[in-house]
Amino acid sequence: MSRLLRSFAVFFLVLLCVESAFSAPSQQPEVLVSNGDIKLTDDYVKQVFAADKQQRQNAVISHPKRFQKYIENRWVELNLINQVRQGAVPDNMPEMDEILSLVGQTTLAKLMIKKLAEDQVHDLDVAAREYYQSNLSKYSLPDRVKASHILVKSEKRSDDEARKLAEQIRVKAIAGKDSFADLAKQYSDDPSAQTNHGELGFFIRGQMAKPFEDAVFAMNKSGEISPVVKTQFGYHIIRFEEKKQGQNKPFSSVKDTIKNELLAKQQQLIWKLYETRMTSGNEKPVSNAQVNTWLWFSGMDAVEESDPVWEQAAVKLGIARLLADKATEAGFDQNVHSKQKIAQAQRKALVKLRRKALFDAIARRDLATAVHEQYVVNKDQYVVPLQADVSVIFLSAKKHPEDSINTLAETVHQLVADGRADFEALALKYSDEPGVQKNKGHFGLRKQGELGKQLDAAIFVDTKTGVLEPVVTPEGIFIVKVNQLIPQHQQSFDDVKDAIKARLVNTLATQEFSALTYSMLNNPENRVNQSAVDQLYAELRQSR
């Protein structure tokens, strides 16, 4: 018996053991679809269905058409596995039994770490309620207000003229001769006012400019008109509509989410303990060959043993082996649920191997002419536009009052422009950009259109390096340093041929895989026992 057939003998023995849990020994499996020696039985479908998550199960049996599609998918899956059994595998594939064994181990390890976490969190319902009570702010809905506004910008007029016009509009709004919606449509410089009549809907704190939201949240009476409010956008007349008080989400609505979070945290702690055990000791539960096999199966077969990625894979695989061994010692690998999940993972692995064999076969074809044609036809796609390597300090309009943000921006700008302070140090100290602690203000290479209209105009119009003048946007003020400008240029064929080939292989493989599965579904020699399919659908619905 060949190694491949031995591997399948082990796999189908496991599958058979799992299937036996669904029918009495004397009961013969009902054939749903057949074609020669390939037979899709009700036991096989039940076994696959049992391994699915509950949400997936509910969706499958929610309608006969969905169940019919599920049967079709199982038929394709069975045919693909049969092709792997017949030798349709990648040429450079490691040992099949090693792949299936590693897939089984990693699956069992996931199940085991979940069980350990559940055992350690003794009463999950009680723990979830205690967590909810201790973190009510996390599960609260904040106060919400509803308002309309009229915006008067100073771009088309002087600042003084804009303020006076806003005051005049406010007088009209208070008088009530014209509705606020009509005034918004007539006077507002907010383009959306022509369709929404100035209505902003409900919003919470943090979604609007601070002076604007402070004015709205200070009002309480429906129909109340605010004094004229100035923000970085211009002058606003605001009409208060409604306020909804914040409230806590009921425990029942977040209970399952909290339970999952608690289990996930506990699993992370367990994993860290095993990780420490692996990295601090001399344990080596997996061989180098097994790590290489796993990396190959994961699509990283070119990784060298000196690469940190290889070492990370070795640690993860080692932890999985330790957890799987613990599960085996406790007999956890023998329960029906574990067997179902392992069989499901191995089925998916075999389908993945069939798809990989197809991809590899296409990648070995002589595609040089087609790749070059793709480059010539789509040459414009390989023009790299003007790019700028930029560093940024962002001062948020939401965090800084209007009277102080300009002063702060001028101070920071002067420090970096004069070279009196290090840009990275100032970014760490002042920038409100979320990722500043990691990137220290360095945004890297950016193309025109990636940073917004105002920043694009500052960076790509003048096209100069160094510290630019502060850039004012609705979100806040940016102090920008252009480290380098890379002119627009055409990528050569040699620069992009590998990327073009990879996309071409992916396209062809996807098309051919679709054609392959279509042929499996529409083979005229397929025999469908529709009454058995309908009976199984009714049985599964009744069992739920």
DSSP annotation string for 373-432? HHHHHTGGGGEEPPEEEEEEEEEETTTS-HHHHHHHHHHHHHHHHTT-S-HHHHHHHH--
**Eight-class DSSP state of 41:** E
Q: What is the spatial distance between Cα 311 and Cα 309, in angstroms, rounded to a whole number? A: 5
Judge whether 535 lies within some domain: no
Per-residue pLDDT, 503: 95
Name the burial class of residue 104, with classes exposed (0-12), middle (13-18) and buried (19+) by CB atoms within 10 angstroms of its CB. Answer: buried
**Boundary residue ending a domain (187, 217, 245):** 245
Judge whether 210 lies within some domain: yes
Low-confidence ranges of the chain (pLDDT < 70): 1-26
Judge whether 180 lies within some domain: yes
Beta strand segments in 31-104, E: 31-35, 38-41
Q: Domains in the chain: how many in total?
A: 2
Please provide residue 146's backbone torsions phi and psi, each rounded to the nearest 5 degrees. Answer: -120, 135
Q: What is the spatial distance between Cα 29 and Cα 474, in angstroms, rounded to a whole number? A: 67
Per-residue pLDDT, 453: 82
Per-residue pLDDT, 499: 95
Per-residue pLDDT, 223: 94
Q: What is the largest CA-CA distance in the chain?
A: 95
**Boundary residue ending a domain (472, 487, 502):** 487
CB 232 within 8 A of CB 79: no
Judge whether 280 lies within some domain: no
CB 258 within 8 A of CB 132: yes
Residue type for position 127: A
Give the torsion through C-alpha atoms of 353, 359, 362, 367, to 10 deg.
-160
Per-residue pLDDT, 136: 87
Judge whether 37 lies within some domain: no
Judge whether 241 lies within some domain: yes
Judge whether 110 lies within some domain: no
CATH number at residue 438: 3.10.50.40
Judge whether 503 lies within some domain: no
Per-residue pLDDT, 137: 83
In terms of residue numbers, what domain contains 205?
143-245
**Boundary residue ending a domain (212, 245, 278):** 245
Q: What is the spatial distance between Cα 241 and Cα 196, in angstroms, rounded to a whole number? A: 14
